[in-house]
Structure formats: C-alpha cells, structure tokens
Amino acid sequence: MSKKRKVKEKHALFHAVKEAFQMPPTDMYTQSFLVINAKGHIQLENCKAVTYYDENTIEFNMGNVCVSVTGDKLVMHTLSKNLVSVSGTVFDVRFIYNK
C-alpha cells in the first residue's frame, strides 16, 4: 500500500471517529425523554406536568404529547423539575398527540 493511500485512510478514519463523537444538537437537552425498562421502572425527563395520578393510572404532559401509563401499584418515587420516576407493574403506555 502506498504512503499516500495510508495517509488518506488514516485521515478518513480520523474524520469518521470525530463525527461519531460530536456533541448532540443543543435542542436535544430540552426535549422530553421516556425510558422504560423490563422491570416496570419508568423515567421521564423534561416532563411538563403530571396531569392525573392514582394507583393504576398516571398521565403526563410531555409538551407535544401526553403519555398515559396504566398498571398496578404504580408509585412515583421522584418528582422534580426535570425528572419523574415511576415503578410498578406496567400494563399499557399510550401516547396522545396534541393537535
């Protein structure tokens, strides 16, 4: 392999790695996120409001979408400005899009 080709491949690899590790767009940090794991734990980031809450249903306003979680023995563990944490047996998650 020629020296020029090695330099060109090294340069291409450098740019591929550089692009892979770029910072995400700034608006990503203000978007709402919903994470659900297999053990019935739910985390919501940047949630606007909890609109309904009882042992079997919790509804959240996430800005452009409302999320309804139905289950058994649902408990909110964390409720802060940027994070809501819920656990329990989750049966259903519905997304209700605002018009």
Query: Residues 11-17: contacts with CB within 8 Å, 24+ apart?
Result: none
Cβ atoms < 10 Å from Cβ of 3:
7
Residue 72 sits at the vertex; the CA angle it makes with 59 and 45, to the nearest 5 degrees, is 40
2: Cβ–Cβ under 8 A, 6 or more apart, which residues? none
Token pair in block for residue 51? 């609109």
Q: What pLDDT was estimated at residue 43?
A: 93
Q: Where are the domains of the chain?
A: 32-99
Tell me which fold the domain 32-99 belongs to: Immunoglobulin-like (2.60.40)
Q: What pLDDT was estimated at residue 98?
A: 75
pLDDT tens digit string along 33-89? 889 998 889 999 988 889 999 999 999 998 889 999 999 999 998 888 788 999 999
